[in-house]
Each structure stands twice: as C-alpha cells, then as structure tokens.
Amino acid sequence: MAIDNQTVKKVAFLSRLRVEDEKIESAKDEFNKILQWIDELNELNTDNVEPLISVNEQTLRLREDEITAGNNKDEILQNAPMEEFDYFAVPKVVE
C-alpha cells in the first residue's frame, strides 16, 4: 500500500494538523518509508494470531465508586483559552 498526496491531506485534516503544500511531498515520503517497514513485518505469517494490545501484562486496576475529584472549577477553567459564565467559550460550533 502506498500513500498519495490526497491521503496525506486527509490524515492531516482528520488530525487537525496544518501541513503546508510544499511539505506534503516529504510527508508522503516519510509515510511510505514507515509503511515499507511495516510491509517487511507483514512477511511473517500471522494468521490466527490475535493482535498484541499491550506488552504490559498487568491486569486492569479498578477504583471504587467514590467522589475524589471535582469542585475545582477555577483550576479547570484556568486552562480555558476563553471563559464566560463558568463555561469554556469556543467559536460557535454548528453542525
């Protein structure tokens, strides 16, 4: 599988990354180099082998259902680029 310029643009859009037009060509090359390497891995037969999710074999740690956070609106909103009436304010989003 090879990546074309169109796919680079699409991935950049989905990731909300700005890639200048003159950088697209080099981004495409980098993508393809990575994919070539993946292709080498594909030479191994992995039929009936489940994908490895994590190399960390530990089981999931669970927490009790207790309220241990919150009530720190000011700290939370401190990171808002814009804040009004205790809400995060963002440019109007209309679907």
Partner 1 sequence: MSEYVIETAKGKWEVIVGLEIHCQIISKSKIFSGASTEFGDNPNENVSFVDAGMPGMLPTLNRWCVHQAVKTGLGLNAKINKYSEFSRKNYFYADLPSGYQITQFRYPIVGEGKIRIDLPDGSNKDIGIERMHIEQDAGKSIHDLSPTKSYIDLNRAGVGLMEIVTKPDFRAPEEAGAFLRKLRSILRYLETCDGNMDEGSMRCDVNVSVRPYGSNELRTRCEMKNVNSVKFVMQAIENEAKRHVEVYENGGDIIQETRQFDPTTGQTKVMRKKEFAHDYRYFPEPDLPPLVLDDAYIESIKQEMVELPDAKKTRFINELGLTAYDASVICENKEVADFFEKASAGHDAKKVANWLIGDFFAMLNKRKLSIKESPVSAENLGNLVELISKSVISGKIAKDVFEIMSETGDSPEKIVEEKGLRQVTDVSAIEAIVDKIIAENPDNVAAYKKGKTNLAGWFVGQTMKMSQGKANPAMVNELVKQKLDK
Q: Which residues bind partner 1 (CB under 8 A)?
A: 10, 14, 16, 51, 53-54, 56, 58-73, 76-77, 79, 82, 84-95
22 versus 71: smaller Cβ distance to partner 1: 71
CB of 34 to partner 1, least distance (A): 15
20 versus 70: smaller Cβ distance to partner 1: 70
CB of 81 to partner 1, least distance (A): 11
44 versus 52: smaller Cβ distance to partner 1: 52
* Residue the block writes with tokens 């039929």: 47
| Torsion angle (degrees, nearest 10) of CA 25, 15, 88, 75 | -100
- Phi, psi values for residue 94, rounded to 5°: -125, 125
CB of 78 to partner 1, least distance (A): 10
Beta carbons of 60 and 32 less than 8 angstroms apart:
no
CB of 22 to partner 1, least distance (A): 25
> Distance of CA 45 to CAs 22, 36, 39, 52, 54, Å?
39, 17, 12, 15, 20
